[in-house]
Amino acid sequence: MDKFDKLTGIAAPMPMINIDTDMIIPKQFLKTIKRSGLGVNLFDEMRYDDDGNEIPDFVLNQPAYREAEILVAGDNFGCGSSREHAPWAIKDFGIRCVIAPSYADIFYNNCFKNGILPIALPQEQVDVLMKEAEKGANARIDIDLEAQTVTTSDGDVFSFEVDAFKKHCLMEGLDDIGLTMEKAAAIDTFEARARAERPWV
Amino acid sequence: MSPKTLYDKIWDAHLAHEAEDGTCLLYIDRHLVHEVTSPQAFEGLRMTNRPVRSPDKTIAVPDHNVPTTLDRAKGIDNEESRIQVEALDKNAKDFGIHYYPVSDIRQGIVHIVGPEQGWTLPGMTVVCGDSHTATHGAFGALAHGIGTSEVEHVLATQTLIQKKSKNMKVEITGKLRPGVTAKDITLSVIGATGTAGGTGYVIEYCGEAIRDLSMEGRMTVCNMAIEGGARAGLIAPDEKTFEYCLGRPHAPKGAQWEAALAWWKTLYSDDDADWDKVLVIKGEDIAPVVTWGTSPEDVLPITAAVPAAEDFTGGKVDAARRSLDYMGLTPGTPLSEVEIDTVFIGSCTNGRIEDLRAAAEILKGKKIKDGLRAMIVPGSGLVRAQAEDEGLADIFKAAGFEWRLAGCSMCLAMNPDQLSPGERCAATSNRNFEGRQGRGGRTHLMSPAMAAAAAITGHLTDVREMM
B436 near A CB under 8 A = yes
The answer to whether the Cβ–Cβ distance between B159 and A18 falls below 8 Å is: no
ipTM for the assembly: 0.95
Q: Where are the beta strands (DSSP E) in B192-341?
A: 201-206, 232-234, 277-282, 289-291, 299-301
The answer to whether the Cβ–Cβ distance between A30 and B48 falls below 8 Å is: no
What would the mean pLDDT of A37-42 be, rounded to a whole number?
97
pLDDT band (50, 70, 90) for residue A137: confident
Q: What is the CA radius of gyration of chain A?
A: 19
Closest chain A residue by Cα to residue B119: A201
Q: In this model, does residue B1 exceed pLDDT 80?
A: no
The answer to whether the Cβ–Cβ distance between B158 and A191 falls below 8 Å is: yes
Write out the H or E segment, with its range, that includes residue B377: strand B373-377
Mutate which of B56, B110, B150, B445 to disrupt the A interface (most A C-beta within 10 Å)?
B150
Please name which of B332, B329, B139, B152 lies closest in space to residue B235, comparing C-alpha atoms: B139
Q: Which chain A residues are within 8 Å of B149, Cβ to Cβ?
A: 84, 110, 113-114
Where helices occur in A35-183 by DSSP H, the ranges are: 44-47, 85-93, 105-112, 123-133, 164-172, 176-181
pLDDT digits (tens, 9 = 90+) for B3-18: 999 999 999 999 999 9
Q: In this model, does residue A175 exceed pLDDT 90?
A: no
What would the mean pLDDT of A189-199 be, rounded to a whole number?
97
Residue type, B11: W
pLDDT at position B273 is 97
B116 near A CB under 8 A = no
Q: How far is Cα B437 from Cα B426, in angstroms, rounded to an integer?
A: 11
pLDDT digits (tens, 9 = 90+) for B169-203: 999 999 999 999 999 999 999 999 999 999 999 99
B433 near A CB under 8 A = yes
Strand pairing category for A97-100 and A117-120: parallel
Burial of B313 (0-12, 13-18, 19+ CB in 10 A): exposed
pLDDT at position A2 is 87
Q: Which chain B residues are within 8 Å of A127, Cβ to Cβ?
A: none
Mutate which of A105, A116, A163, A183 to disrupt the B interface (most B C-beta within 10 Å)?
A105
Q: How far is Cα A9 from Cα A71, in angstroms, rounded to an integer?
A: 10
B245 near A CB under 8 A = no
pLDDT digits (tens, 9 = 90+) for A146-170: 999 999 999 999 999 999 999 999 9
What residues contact B221, with CB distance under 8 A and at least 6 apart?
B138, B182, B185, B186, B189, B205, B210, B213, B233, B235
Q: In this model, does residue B296 exceed pLDDT 80?
A: yes
What would the mean pLDDT of B89-106 be, rounded to a whole number?
98
Q: How far is Cα A40 from Cα B222, in angstroms, rounded to an integer?
A: 35
The answer to whether the Cβ–Cβ distance between B129 and A82 falls below 8 Å is: yes
pLDDT at position B21 is 85
In this structure, the dihedral spanned by the alpha carbons of residues B215, B218, B223 and B225, taken in order and rounded to 10 degrees, is -150
**Number of residues in chain B:** 467
Cβ pairs A/B, distance under 8 A: 189
pLDDT at position B22 is 86
**Do residues A75 and A82 make contact, with C-beta atoms less than 8 angstroms apart?**
no
Q: How far is Cα A27 from Cα A58, in angstroms, rounded to an integer?
A: 20
Closest chain A residue by Cα to residue B433: A22
Residue of A16, A33, A84 with shortest CB distance to B87: A33
pLDDT band (50, 70, 90) for residue B342: very high
3-state SS, B6-61, equals HHHHHHHHCEEEECCCCCEEEECCEEEECCCCCHHHHHHHHHHCCCCCCHHHEEEC
The answer to whether the Cβ–Cβ distance between A83 and B36 falls below 8 Å is: yes
The answer to whether the Cβ–Cβ distance between B252 and A105 falls below 8 Å is: no
Please name which of B291, B233, B197 lies closest in space to residue A18, comparing C-alpha atoms: B197
pLDDT digits (tens, 9 = 90+) for B410-444: 999 999 999 999 999 999 999 999 999 999 999 99
Residue of A17, A30, A82 with shortest CB distance to B146: A82
Q: Which chain B residues are within 8 Å of A188, Cβ to Cβ?
A: none
pLDDT digits (tens, 9 = 90+) for B220-268: 999 999 999 999 999 999 999 999 999 999 999 999 999 999 999 999 9
Q: Which chain B residues are within 8 Å of A18, Cβ to Cβ?
A: 195-196, 295, 319
Distance of CA A138 to the CA centre of its chain: 23
What would the mean pLDDT of A184-188 be, rounded to a whole number?
97
Please name which of B449, B415, B444 lies closest in space to residue B430, comparing C-alpha atoms: B444
Q: In this model, does residue B456 exceed pLDDT 80?
A: yes
Give the range among A133-142, B346-355, B418-427, B451-460 with minimum mean pLDDT.
Answer: A133-142
Closest chain B residue by Cα to residue A176: B153
Q: In this model, does residue B167 exceed pLDDT 80?
A: yes
The answer to whether the Cβ–Cβ distance between B123 and A198 falls below 8 Å is: yes
pLDDT at position A1 is 83
Share of chain B above pLDDT 90, in %: 99
Please name which of B296, B315, B244 lies closest in space to residue B445, comparing C-alpha atoms: B296
pLDDT band (50, 70, 90) for residue A139: confident
pLDDT digits (tens, 9 = 90+) for A42-88: 999 999 999 999 999 999 999 999 999 999 999 999 999 999 999 99
pLDDT band (50, 70, 90) for residue B449: very high
Those of residues 374-413 in B touching chain A at CB distance below 8 A are 412-413
The answer to whether the Cβ–Cβ distance between B129 and A198 falls below 8 Å is: no
pLDDT at position B301 is 98
- Smallest Cα distance from A122 to chain B, Å: 14
CA geometry: angle B232, B238, B241, nearest 5 deg: 75
